[in-house]
Amino acid sequence: MGKRLAAEFFGTFWLVLGGCGSAVLAAAFPELGIGFAGVALAFGLTVLTMAYAFGHISGCHFNPAVTIGLLAGGRISAKDVVPYVVTQVVGAIAAGAVLYLIASGKAGFDVTAGFATNGYGEHSPGGFSLLSAVVTEFVLTAFFLLVILGVTDKRALPGFAPLAIGLALTLIHLISIPVTNTSVNPARSTGVAIFQGGWALSQLWMFWVVPLLGGAAGGLIYRYLLEDDR
Q: What percent of the chain has pLDDT over 70?
A: 98
Q: In angstroms, how far is CA 121 from the centroid of its own chain?
A: 21
Query: Where are the chain's structural domains?
Result: 2-229
Q: What value does the mean pLDDT of the chain take?
A: 93
pLDDT at 220 over 90: yes
- Of 210, 141, 212, 214, residue with least CA distance to 175: 141
Q: How confident is the model at residue 228 (pLDDT cuts 50, 70, 90)?
A: low
Contacts for 81 with CB less than 8 Å, ≥ 6 apart: 67, 68, 71
Instruction: Write the pLDDT tens digit of every residue in 185-205.
Output: 999 999 999 999 889 999 999
Q: What is the pLDDT of residue 29?
A: 73
Write the single-letter amino acid at 58.
S
Superfamily holding 2-229: Glycerol uptake facilitator protein. (1.20.1080.10)
Q: What is the pLDDT of residue 157?
A: 79
Q: Report H helices in the chain.
A: 2-21, 35-58, 64-72, 81-103, 130-151, 161-180, 186-196, 199-202, 206-229
Instruction: Write the pLDDT tens digit of every residue in 135-181.
Output: 999 999 999 999 999 999 888 877 899 999 999 999 999 999 999 99
221 with 144: CB under 8 angstroms?
Answer: no
Q: How many CB atoms neighbour CB 102 within 10 A?
A: 14
Q: What is the pLDDT of residue 41?
A: 96
Average pLDDT in the 8-29 region?
93
Q: CA 132, CA 125: separation in Å to the nearest integer?
A: 12
pLDDT at 21 over 70: yes
Q: What is the pLDDT of residue 229?
A: 56
Q: Which of 9-23, 28-42, 51-65, 212-226 has the lowest mean pLDDT?
A: 28-42
Q: What is the pLDDT of residue 107?
A: 87
Instruction: Write the pLDDT tens digit of every residue in 26-71.
Output: 988 777 789 999 999 999 999 999 999 998 999 889 999 999 999 9
